Amino acid sequence: MQLGLIGLGKMGGNMAERIRRAGHEVVGYDRAPGKRDVDSLPALVEALAAPRVVWVMVPSGEPTRETVKELAGLLEPGDVIVDGGNSKYTDDQVHDVLCREQGVGYVDAGVSGGVWGLENGYALMVGGTAEDVAKVQPVFDALKPPAPTDESGQPIGGDAGFVHAGPVGAGHFSKMVHNGIEYAMMQAYGEGYELLEAVDLIEDVPGVIKSWTQGTVIRSWLLDLLVRALEEDPALDRVRGYAEDSGEGRWTVEQAIENAVPMPTIAASLFARFSSRQEDSPTMKAVAALRNQFGGHAVRAVEQAEAERPA
């Protein structure tokens, strides 16, 4: 089949390559001239035969909103737009209404796999009508990981790596929760690493973490990646302890509050990322000042803290 793909960065470019390897035609558009097959969105639409499927892979928020709005005005009834970025599920519901007014279908696809997806495949969580999802299914089949097989080579596990999660919004909601869990898992691995580093008893911290990748209940691809990072930089000296959040963790916690679902672990991992960005915590300044006020405990002046800070 044909697919129009908007956004050919690290993720989109690899996805385009994987889809082409499966025998499909991809017409790509990107703002960077060196990557694109056509020079504009109208040219992209013109290059595709109806019914068209156009996959949007651009940053979430306003860039996605603007792209979907322009596409909805260019496409024809029966065509389908897929948002494969990290949009908030409520944006999907707004986009669906906009597209339906033009007779255009809309599918939201939460995509996980990062830079490794080209070779390993992508986990796909999609939302939309059965009819619209079916129009995109050959692309989903090309992108998803190969099904695991038994000893005789027969596939097992059904659609591992792909799920039609529900109506529009369900795909990105599922990906949002996935990323919230990811926050918590990374935080747990990070805390375990710090404790191992903090004691003199453990002489081979990278070796201990690598030993966990086989036969243990905490093995995972994330743990494999931590091993890889420690092989490249055993003490993580080249990395600053500063972690951004891309939005999904916040949205997960917001939904937990909205639905009265306790999520202490995911919430704590999100707040830990906020703490990582503080050079000098106002909270802990207040704590230090209070200890001094009620107990006469010593406080470190700014000048003293600066003098003791490692070079």
pLDDT digits (tens, 9 = 90+) for 32-88: 888 899 999 999 999 999 999 999 999 999 999 999 999 999 999 999 999 999 999
> Pseudo-torsion of CA 101, 107, 110, 113, nearest 10°?
-130
The answer to whether residue 257 is domain-embedded is: yes
Based on the fold, state whether residues 159 and 19 are members of the same structural domain.
yes
Shared domain check, 244 and 116: no
Whether 31 and 155 share a structural domain: yes
pLDDT confidence of residue 152: 78
- For the beta sheet containing 25-29, the strands, ordered from the edge strand earlier in sequence to the opposite edge, are 25-29, 2-6, 53-56, 80-83, 105-112, 123-127, 162-166
What CATH number should be reported for the domain holding residue 163?
Answer: 3.40.50.720
Compute the half-sphere exposure of residue 282: CA atoms within 13 Å on the CB side of its CA.
Answer: 2
Name, in order, each residue with C-beta under 8 angstroms of 4's C-beta and a sequence gap of 6 or more. 26, 27, 28, 29, 44, 45, 47, 48, 52, 53, 54, 55
Domain presence at residue 293: yes
Given a cut of 60, whether residue 303 has pLDDT beyond it is no
User: Domain check: are 36 and 146 in the same one?
Assistant: yes
Task: Give the pLDDT mean for 128-132.
Answer: 98
Lowest mean pLDDT of 41-50, 259-268, 296-305, name the range. Answer: 296-305
Instruction: Place 25 in a pLDDT band, splitting at 50, 70 and 90.
Output: very high
Q: What is the pLDDT of residue 105?
A: 98
> Of the given ranges (44-48, 223-227, 290-294), which has the lowest mean pLDDT?
290-294
Q: Of 135, 144, 175, 248, which is the active-site residue?
A: 175
| Domain range for 198 | 179-276
Interatomic CA distance for residues 26 and 179, integer angstroms? 28
Residue 174 lies in a domain: no
Q: Let me know if 10 is a catalytic residue.
A: no
- My answer on whether 85 and 101 are in the same domain is yes
Which residues lie below 8 Å from residue 41, measured CB to CB, with a gap of 6+?
A: 6, 29, 67, 70, 71, 74
Q: Do 161 and 64 share a domain, yes or no?
A: yes
Distance between CA atoms of residues 225 and 188, nearest Å: 14
- Contact by Cβ (8 Å): 245, 176: no
Structurally, how many domains does the chain consist of?
3
Indicate if 147 and 203 belong to the same structural domain.
no
Average pLDDT in the 139-159 region? 80
Q: Do both 201 and 131 map to the same domain? A: no
Neighbouring CB atoms inside 10 A of 169's CB total 23
In a domain, 218, yes or no: yes
Q: Catalytic: which of 25, 35, 182, 210?
A: 182
At residue 309, the pLDDT reads 57
Please tell me the distance from the alpha carbon of residue 239 to that of residue 105, in angstroms, as a whole number.
44
Query: Do 287 and 215 lie in a common domain?
Result: no
Q: Considering only CA atoms, which of 114, 104, 162, 116 is closest in space to residue 138?
A: 162
Query: In the prediction, which pLDDT does 150 show?
Result: 75
Question: Are residue 73 and residue 110 in the same domain, yes or no?
Answer: yes
- 94 and 142 share a domain? yes
Q: Does position 147 have pLDDT exceeding 90, yes or no?
A: no
Assigned domain for 173 exists: no
Please indicate, yes or no, if residue 88 is contained in any of the structural domains: yes
Question: Which of 105, 138, 168 represents a domain boundary (last residue)?
Answer: 168
d(CA 168, CA 283): 41
Active site residue 197: no
In a domain, 310, yes or no: yes
Residue 304 in domain: yes
Q: Is 70 exceeded by the pLDDT of residue 305?
A: no
Whether the Cβ atoms of residue 274 and residue 308 lie closer than 8 Å to each other: no
Q: What is the predicted pLDDT for the residue at 292?
A: 86
Residues 85, 223, single domain; the answer is no
Model confidence, pTM: 0.90
| CATH code where residue 255 lies | 1.10.1040.10
Percent helix, strand and coil across the chain, each to the nearest 5: 50, 10, 35
Rounded to 5 degrees, φ, ψ at 155 are -60, 140
